[in-house]
Structure 1
Amino acid sequence: MNIEQFIQSTEALHSRLADLYQTASVLPWIPPELLPQAFKELYSTSKMVQLAAEELYQQNEELIETRNWLEAERQRYQDLFEFAPDGYLVTNTAGIIQEANRAAAQLLNVSRQLLIGKPIVNFVPLEERQPFRCELSQLCQTDRVRELVVRLQQNYGEFFDAAITVAVVRNQQGSANSLRWLLRNISERQKQKTALIDDKSSLIQDRPVHKHTKGETIPLNPLVVWYVRQGLVKLNTFCETGEEILIGLATQDMIFGSNMTSLPIYQATALSDVELVSIYVSEIAGNPMLSHLLLPKINQRLQQTESFLVIAGKRRVEERLYHLLQLLKQQIGESVAGGTRLSVRLTHEDIASACCTTRVTITRLMGKLQQEGVISFDSKKYVIFKD
């Protein structure tokens, strides 16, 4: 029996009791004092039941209204989840998919039914899964929303670049119990970014080219930085005794300039025929695209400088020479038959200054490496590292 049937039954009972009580009260041959007390109590109780039923009915109507509102809200949020323009996943802390919307299923080329229960790592290329698992294990250690760029692969489909936003959901005890993933395909954006970088290259390629021959000293201007289009430039300074110290090599696509150092004496010399482009420092500050293009070039110089610092810190001269030759092989080496040749000739004096030793010591150690078969020289005295 539902609430409405119960109310109808109580109303009918109350009506019959009211009629009976009224009839018994007006019969002339029955004195009122003879009316049974139980009959009066029964009538009063039925009245209370009727009032309670009406109140219960009102509460039931309110509950129905609240339930309908909650159902509408639930459906609204379900629609927001289902029809979101970006892919949305809910996983446990191990990355097992528990919920997925239509966009996620379409993005990964899998039906939603088949997505449930699958590890999200299954859609990461094999060679990138281990770093992704390490990232996954760290997600639950913080409440900060993480932004990731990951290469994903569709089911029996192509690879694409995905921007992923991950948030951790915790229970009342503060323990992580699920992860929420927002997935966006940014492959087109990455292509546009690459095209933009190609366009920005014209900011340098279209400038006037300054050419310097091998051995020529390149003039330095604190208002200008030089961009190496072609060739190799030696960067050096001088100590108090007048000895030259090699502090860097500006290879193709690197930049250098007197405003990039605090050394009182800074000199640039062409180790080969070079082509340079001048860029004003004020122009870099006022052109974000140019700054963005030059930042990786500055990073190259910084990494090279740190490598020279590590070499200078080696205790034994043999170690300093070995690591310097490896650095030169990496920076200015070119493949030839039987090994790798340095593209320019560095004097023993240059190598000695970079190794913080004397030219005589370098000559002796280079001869030793040649005898051991580690290096050799071609007809033009270029160093060749044997395979």
Structure 2
Amino acid sequence: MDKRIANLYENAIAMPVKSNAVPQFLMELGHASQTVHHAIEELYQQNEQLEQTQEILEAEYQRYEELFEEAPDAYLVTDAQGKIQLANRKAAKLLNIEKHFLLGKPIINFIALEERQCFRNFLSQLSQHGRSQELAIGLQRRGGEFFDAALTVAVTYDNQGKPQSLRWLLRGITESRRAELVQIQKDSYFGDSRQVHKYSKGEIIPLNPQTIWYVRQGLVKLSTLCETSEEVLVGLAAQGMVFGSYMTSLHAYQATALSEVELVSIHLSEITTSPLLSHALLPKINQRLRQTESFLAITGFRRVQDRLYYFLRLLKQEIGETVAQGTRLSIRLTHEDFASACCTTRVTITRLLCKLKQQGKICLDAKKHIILREID
């Protein structure tokens, strides 16, 4: 196209009867061609960033999947009706059955017959609560052997607030250990007995490969650098979540405080020597795994506006708080942070956010925090 425009321009100049309008028109056409070139180049760059980000998130997802698989306790994920969707090796060993035979089977198949009605009642009441619950019940291994177990279950919800999946932690117990299990529910392992480390907004949090950070208060941005030295947002650690360089295979991994942050550190030696501490950490590691999956899914959308929309939905779930106008994001993220998460440019994010604001789907409060009105 460029060559044809150049030929037309030369022919117009060489014409016996010259017209100023024709060369001017061809020059404007040439400028339009250059604009198209710039747009194509930007699309190429965005596509490369998308591919790099997807590779990073896939590696992160693989890491958390390995942590789930190698967890020291039996762990299951079921749908809302109790049909098993995921199981780790410890679960297969505990129930004395090959892991692939577990998938698709109702968890009630492993409940003692005389206690199945109690279990059904427990399942029906789960949707009425928003916290983890425990149930002491008799389980039956394949082969007929019975044993007492403690089932800890947490419910995840869809966008309409309906139960979507159940996460189960299965442990064989004795009467003497039941009091210890109550202690786990209260998160006593992350309480006042540990030293609290405080970091200010914008401060880089030091990472030690032998420790894991637990967030007592605030929000931490987790990021890495791609080949072009641009920052890529790979996670957000809010209150009650854990993070650390031990939990990732990324070579460049950085944690930045997005607000005033309070953290406590947990050394790996504690985790390996304390089964109860491992029990308490497993749901929190799973929470990070689920968030990584969400970030990975965002990069799969081809259109930038779709990536932004689903990123706002993720922020609503992770750091949203209900206010009169809708859901307020408790932390202010920069347009650069949005661009990093959505694999696009800051200018594009600014334009799309302004459009959402004009459409009435978002607004800002007095402190410039985004309020989501019609982001479901």
Q: TM-score, normalised by structure 2?
A: 0.56
Higher radius of gyration, 1 or 2: 1
How far apart in 1 are the matches of 2:248 and 2:120? 49
Q: Which residue of 2 aligns with 1:346?
A: 333
Question: Following TM superposition, by how much is the alpha carbon of 1:202 offset from its aligned partner in structure 2, in angstroms?
Answer: 3.8
Q: How many pairs align?
A: 240
Q: 1:154 to 1:263 in 2, by over 3 A?
A: closer
Contact 2:138 2:149 in 1 (8 A): no
Q: Which piece of structure 1 moves more, 191-200 or 331-340?
A: 191-200
Moved over 3 A (4+): 130-134, 159-168, 182-194, 202-205
Question: Following TM superposition, by how much is the alpha carbon of 1:372 offset from its aligned partner in structure 2, in angstroms?
Answer: 0.5
Equivalent residue for 1:270, pick from 257, 272, 293? 257
Q: Indicate the structure whose relative CO is greater, using CA pairs within 8 Å and at least 6 residues apart.
A: 2
Q: Which residue of 2 aligns with 1:3?
A: none
Question: Following TM superposition, by how much is the alpha carbon of 1:206 offset from its aligned partner in structure 2, in angstroms?
Answer: 1.2
Contact 1:377 1:384 in 2 (8 A): yes
How far apart in 1 are the matches of 2:267 and 2:83? 46
* Percentage of matched positions with identical amino acids: 56
Q: Which residue of 1 aligns with 2:110?
A: 147
Contact 1:226 1:276 in 2 (8 A): yes
Q: For 1:265, what is the secondary structure of its paired residue?
A: coil
Q: 1:153 to 1:315 in 2, by over 3 A?
A: closer
State yes or no: 1:327 paired with 2:314: yes
Q: Which residue of 2 aligns with 1:249?
A: 236
Q: 1:350 to 1:203 in 2, by over 3 A?
A: closer
Which residue identity is paired with 1:310? A
CA RMSD of aligned residues (A): 3.9
Which residue identity is paired with 1:331? E
Contact 1:352 1:359 in 2 (8 A): yes
Post-superposition CA distance 1:34-64 (Å, at most 9, x none) = xxxxxxxxxxxxxxxxxxxxxxxxxxxxxxx
Q: For 2:309, what is the secondary structure of its paired residue?
A: helix
Unmatched segments (≥5 aa) in structure 2: 1-79, 85-100, 126-133, 152-173
Unmatched segments (≥5 aa) in structure 1: 1-129, 169-179
Equivalent residue for 2:224, pick from 220, 226, 237? 237
**1:1-20 map, 5 Å:** none
Contact 2:139 2:149 in 1 (8 A): no
Equivalent residue for 2:294, pick from 283, 287, 307? 307
Post-superposition CA distance 1:332-376 (Å, at most 9, x none) = 001111211000000111011111111111111101100111000
Post-superposition CA distance 1:181-210 (Å, at most 9, x none) = x99998997974652324662454410000
Equivalent residue for 1:213, pick from 178, 195, 200? 200
Q: 1:362 to 1:291 in 2, by over 3 A?
A: same
Q: TM-score, normalised by structure 1?
A: 0.54
**1:59-208 map, 5 Å:** 131=81, 146-148=109-111, 150=116, 152=118, 163=137, 192=179, 195-198=182-185, 201-202=188-189, 204-208=191-195
Contact 2:362 2:370 in 1 (8 A): yes
Q: 1:211 to 1:320 in 2, by over 3 A?
A: same
